[in-house]
Amino acid sequence: MVKRIGKRIGRQIATWYDRHYQLAVTVSALLFLTQLVHLYWLSAHVVAHRLVGASYWLLDPFWSAALSAADYLEIPAIITTSILYVVILRRKFSWKRLLILIGINLQWLHMYWITDEIVLSSLGLGEAGTTMPAWLAWIAIGIDYLELPAIFDTTREAIREFRKRGLRGVRQALKE
């Protein structure tokens, strides 16, 4: 019974994503675009500090709030984009899209096992606490950059949809 309910819910979600593809891909792209703030922080603060000994991240109130917002939006970005890629892969299989889906979902490993705080302390940039070998911290940083293909792909796809349909698909989805 649970299996049957799960299949039915899965079909309903896939049907909704198929009918409202333009809205789904746009929301996924916008949510993942917020992760550019996090990736900038990672590059300008963590990586730059470790490689050249200086941080280029200014932690003024605006950027602090932007970084917090990006962190809170990461989970919705992963969920909506994962569903989107599963729906796309059901339509037509592509190794590229499968690899993007895997890269997106490796973020769970990074978020719940190798957090930013542990990476910072392991690289000598944060408070002392739980640490790991520096090489593992660099792997965690690399996992973060695996968001870039999803950001690029969903943004490109959203732009294609808007060029093809204008705002029609979004308006239609919001009416229902």
Q: What is the pLDDT of residues 135-153, one digit of tens each?
A: 777 777 888 899 999 999 9
pLDDT digits (tens, 9 = 90+) for 99-118: 999 999 998 877 765 555 55
Report DSSP state, residue 113.
T
pLDDT digits (tens, 9 = 90+) for 6-64: 788 888 888 888 888 989 999 999 999 999 988 888 888 777 877 888 888 777 778 77
The answer to whether the predicted template modeling score (pTM) of the entire model surpasses 0.75 is yes
Closest CA to 105 of 88, 83, 90: 83
Q: How far is CA 115 from CA 84, 103, 122, 139, 142, in A?
A: 26, 17, 11, 12, 13
90 Cβ contact partners less than 8 Å away, ≥ 6 residues apart: 14
CB neighbour class for 146 (10 Å; exposed up to 12, middle 13-18, buried from 19): middle
